[in-house]
């Protein structure tokens, strides 16, 4: 074979790297072309790292910061509301003063606080005024006063209000209720009307039990004070206790007489 032929054969059929790469292309174009292409640098390569994803995730979750701040503020508000729900006048004033200093409304808050205190605490001298009415009109045998943590309670025996087994007010009851209403009308406190009986069972067509009788008597008293004496309806509440809140023993007639009563409570708070 001639030297030129050998040179030619070596170029095309020898063991050079260039021929091997193209020879593979004839047999299996996919792998060889893919391998060649993979060696070429990509245009405008995009480098993606784990850190590059963080800004996008932070943007998506940014609302959680605002949400958590809102929840924290609401929690603080509810804690404050709970703390002042049971009114302690000293602590209440401290809280109001703190808010007033912060928001510049000290004067207005102090006025509201004063009005609030007047609406829940009986005014000074109230018991003395009631005692004077009882003494001047000789109601001492039928009306008793008691002052405790609830407020001032006016115990009115049933013999001056109702006949036996009845919930209809007697005419003689109007005078004492009218005199008491003059005082109650002048104060802003809430008033609770409570009906009580002794432990002697009652069973009639009108009142199947002492529960029915005690509630009916409290209602009759409340309706008179609202409709005739014009006490504000939103200030009055009614409850019946039957025989279960005695102030004396039910073992004798004298004690049972004291237990059959209507209580008018001027609520302190």
Q: Give yes or no: residues 151 and 259 share one domain.
A: yes
Is 47 part of any domain?
A: no
Name the domain count of the chain.
3
Give the pLDDT of residue 67. Answer: 82
pLDDT at 206 over 70: yes
Backbone angles phi, psi at 3, to 5 degrees: -60, -35
pLDDT at 34 over 90: no
Q: Give yes or no: residues 182 and 203 share one domain.
A: yes
Which of 83, 104, 120 is the last residue before a domain boundary? 120
Under the phi-then-psi rule, with left for phi > 0, alpha for psi from -120 to 50, and beta for the rest, what region is 242?
Answer: left
List pLDDT tens digits, range 119-174. 455 567 889 999 999 999 999 999 999 998 889 999 999 999 999 899 999 999 99
Is 51 part of any domain?
A: no
Q: Give yes or no: residues 263 and 130 share one domain.
A: yes
Is 49 part of any domain?
A: no
Q: What CATH number is given to the structural domain containing 130?
A: 3.30.1330.60
Burial zone of 93 (CB within 10 Å; 0-12 exposed, 13-18 middle, 19+ buried): middle
Higher-confidence position of 77 and 191: 191
The domain containing residue 75 runs over which residues? 58-120
Is 210 part of any domain?
A: yes
Tokens describing residue 92? 């209440």
- The edge-to-edge listing of strands for the beta sheet with 261-267 is 143-148, 151-157, 261-267, 191-196, 236-240
Q: Enumerate residues 6+ apart whose C-beta is below 8 A from 110.
A: 96, 100
pLDDT confidence of 66, banded at 50, 70, 90?
confident
Question: How many Å apart are CA 248 and CA 159, to the nearest integer?
Answer: 16
Is 192 part of any domain?
A: yes
Higher-confidence position of 54 and 129: 129
Question: How many Å apart are CA 108 and CA 120, to the nearest integer?
Answer: 19
Q: Give yes or no: residues 139 and 227 share one domain.
A: yes
Q: Cβ distance 243 to 259 under 8 Å?
A: yes
Is 50 part of any domain?
A: no
Q: Give yes or no: residues 77 and 138 share one domain.
A: no
Is 52 part of any domain?
A: no
Is 241 part of any domain?
A: yes
- pTM (predicted TM-score): 0.56
Q: Give yes or no: residues 139 and 209 share one domain.
A: yes
């Amino acid at each position: 074979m001639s030297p030129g032929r050998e040179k030619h054969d070596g170029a095309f059929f020898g063991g050079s790297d260039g021929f091997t790469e193209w020879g593979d292309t004839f047999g299996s174009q996919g792998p060889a072309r893919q391998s060649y292409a993979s060696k070429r640098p990509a245009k405008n390569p995009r480098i993606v790292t784990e850190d590059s994803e963080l800004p996008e995730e932070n943007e998506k979750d940014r609302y959680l910061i605002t949400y958590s701040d809102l929840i924290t503020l609401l929690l603080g508000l509810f804690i404050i509301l709970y703390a002042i729900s049971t009114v302690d006048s000293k602590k209440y004033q401290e809280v109001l003063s703190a808010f007033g200093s912060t928001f510049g409304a000290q004067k207005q808050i102090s006025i509201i606080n004063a009005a609030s205190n007047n609406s829940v605490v009986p005014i000074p001298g109230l018991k003395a005024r009631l005692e004077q009415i009882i003494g001047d009109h000789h109601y001492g045998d039928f009306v008793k006063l008691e002052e405790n943590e609830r407020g001032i309670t006016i115990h009115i025996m049933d013999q001056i209000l109702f006949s036996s087994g009845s919930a209809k007010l007697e005419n003689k009851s109007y005078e004492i209720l009218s005199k008491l209403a003059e005082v109650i009308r002048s104060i802003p406190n809430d008033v609770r009307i409570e009906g009580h009986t002794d432990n002697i069972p009652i069973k009639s067509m009108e009142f199947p039990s002492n529960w029915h009788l005690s509630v009916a008597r409290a209602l009759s008293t409340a309706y008179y004070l609202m409709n005739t004496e014009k006490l504000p309806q939103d200030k009055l509440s009614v409850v019946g206790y039957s025989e279960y809140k005695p102030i004396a023993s039910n073992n004798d007639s004298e004690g049972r007489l004291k237990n059959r009563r209507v209580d008018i409570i001027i609520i302190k708070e």
